[in-house]
């Protein structure tokens, strides 16, 4: 499988939206990109629904896959063409160069429907840790930061797998109360 930066599409889309909202002269250009990226989200979602229902064989899957591939090719041709235009504004060029740089990672989802087109879930999972770090003014020392990172990772893994971190910690601490020295050997 190719390496890359999944979720970079959100970064490009966010930059295009900022251009759409902040630079009226380039609103038409940004609108085209936003609509086409929206189309890509829609066709990718339709394909994902088929994958989720385990319908990855047959004409419906082939049609959905072809739509995704055609939309990706359309976007690629557009940024390649636009990068050749000398009259592009620096902000437009910046967005297009970012697409070019991250294209391999941006398009990982084409081959693997399990890979999301965005990184919303990952950002949501990190949000609590970031807020806690900000509210507590950081960890203070490198070892505390490393411990916090490991604990956040552990808690998120439990949550993703439908486990209750509070109940698991309570069980652990109760076990430690019964035999503190034995509990440490199981860590």
| H or E stretch at 33 | helix 27-52
Q: Which has more pLDDT, 8 or 71?
A: 71
Segment 87-109 shows an average pLDDT of: 92
pLDDT at residue 11 tops 70: no
Segment 92-111 shows an average pLDDT of: 92
Nearest to 12 by CA among 112, 161, 117: 117
Segment 87-112 shows an average pLDDT of: 92
**DSSP letter (8 states) at residue 94:** H
The pLDDT of residue 7 is 44
Q: Which long-range contacts (CB under 8 A, 24 or more apart) does 58-66 make?
A: none
Other Cβ atoms less than 10 A from the Cβ of 30: the count is: 22
Q: Which range has highest mean pLDDT (3-7, 106-110, 130-134)?
A: 106-110
The Cα–Cα gap between 64 and 119 comes to: 22
First to last CA, the chain: 35
At 120-156, the pLDDT tens digits run 776 777 777 777 777 777 767 788 878 887 888 888 8
- Among residues of the chain, what percentage have pLDDT more than 70? 88
């Amino acid at each position: 499988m190719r390496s890359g930066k999944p979720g970079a599409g959100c970064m490009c889309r966010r930059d295009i939206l900022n251009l759409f909202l902040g630079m009226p002269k380039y609103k038409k250009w940004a609108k085209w990109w936003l609509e086409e990226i929206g189309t890509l989200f829609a066709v990718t979602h339709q394909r994902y629904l088929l994958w989720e229902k385990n319908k990855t064989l047959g004409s419906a899957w082939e049609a959905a896959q072809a739509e995704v591939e055609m939309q990706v090719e359309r976007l690629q041709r557009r940024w390649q063409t636009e990068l050749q235009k000398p009259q592009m504004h620096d902000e437009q060029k910046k967005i297009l160069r970012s697409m070019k740089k991250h294209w391999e990672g941006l398009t990982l989802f084409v081959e693997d429907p399990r890979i999301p087109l965005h990184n919303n879930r990952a950002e949501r999972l990190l949000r609590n840790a970031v807020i806690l770090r900000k509210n507590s003014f950081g960890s203070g020392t490198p070892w505390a930061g490393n411990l916090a990172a490991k604990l956040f990772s552990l808690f998120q893994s439990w949550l993703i797998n439908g486990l209750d971190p509070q109940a698991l910690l309570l069980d652990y601490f109760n076990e430690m109360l019964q035999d503190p020295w034995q509990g440490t050997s199981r860590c």
